């Protein structure tokens, strides 16, 4: 059974979990590059990927967590439905909704950024798992 976390733990979960999405995106993009083309990115290319991803992705992830994630968590908490599965479902739905909302802004005349809804749903799921892990982590010493 899930018990309400302390305010500090909840704040930590909302501060850390959104960062999981850009981290997962960078790791995934590098893995796809390695698998499809057979080589790893050079250091400067990897740095560009990290900077670009965090410049665009981190603010979007924090807005999604604040605007959609926090109210969803409150509803789940008040209805007694905070579980790993409900958080995964909510995270995936929030990620997909965010991608669909951003889609018109990611298409341009000069360049476009492909960001399918299903990738965003997976990133939302990753963030939800990190959120769950932070909420349910045991303190050192066994409590």
Compute the C-alpha angle 17/20/25, nearest 5°: 155
User: CA-to-CA distance for 54 and 45, rounded, in angstroms?
Assistant: 14
Compute the C-alpha angle 65/70/67, nearest 5°: 55
Does residue 143 register a pLDDT over 60? no
User: CA-to-CA distance for 89 and 76, rounded, in angstroms?
Assistant: 12
| pTM attached to this predicted model | 0.89
Res 55: pLDDT: 95
Burial class (CB in 10 A: 0-12, 13-18, 19+), 22: buried
Res 73: pLDDT: 98
pLDDT averaged over every residue in the chain: 91
Domain ranges of the chain: 7-136
Q: How many angstroms separate the Cα of 99 from the Cα of each of 3, 18, 122? A: 32, 15, 11
Does residue 33 register a pLDDT over 80? yes
User: CA-to-CA distance for 136 and 133, rounded, in angstroms?
Assistant: 5
Does residue 12 register a pLDDT over 90? yes
């Amino acid at each position: 059974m899930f018990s309400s976390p302390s305010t500090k733990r909840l704040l930590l979960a909302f501060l850390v979990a959104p960062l999981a999405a850009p981290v997962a995106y960078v790791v995934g993009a590098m893995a796809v590059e390695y698998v499809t083309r057979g080589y790893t990115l050079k250091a400067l290319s990897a740095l560009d990927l990290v900077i670009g991803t965090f410049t665009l992705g981190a603010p979007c992830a924090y807005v999604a967590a604040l605007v959609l994630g926090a109210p969803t968590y409150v509803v789940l908490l008040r209805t007694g439905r905070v579980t790993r599965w409900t958080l995964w479902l909510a995270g995936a739905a929030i990620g997909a909704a965010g991608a669909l909302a951003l889609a018109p802004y990611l298409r341009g005349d000069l360049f476009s950024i492909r960001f399918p809804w299903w990738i965003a749903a997976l990133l939302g799921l990753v963030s939800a798992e990190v959120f769950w892990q932070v909420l349910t982590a045991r303190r050192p010493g066994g409590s």
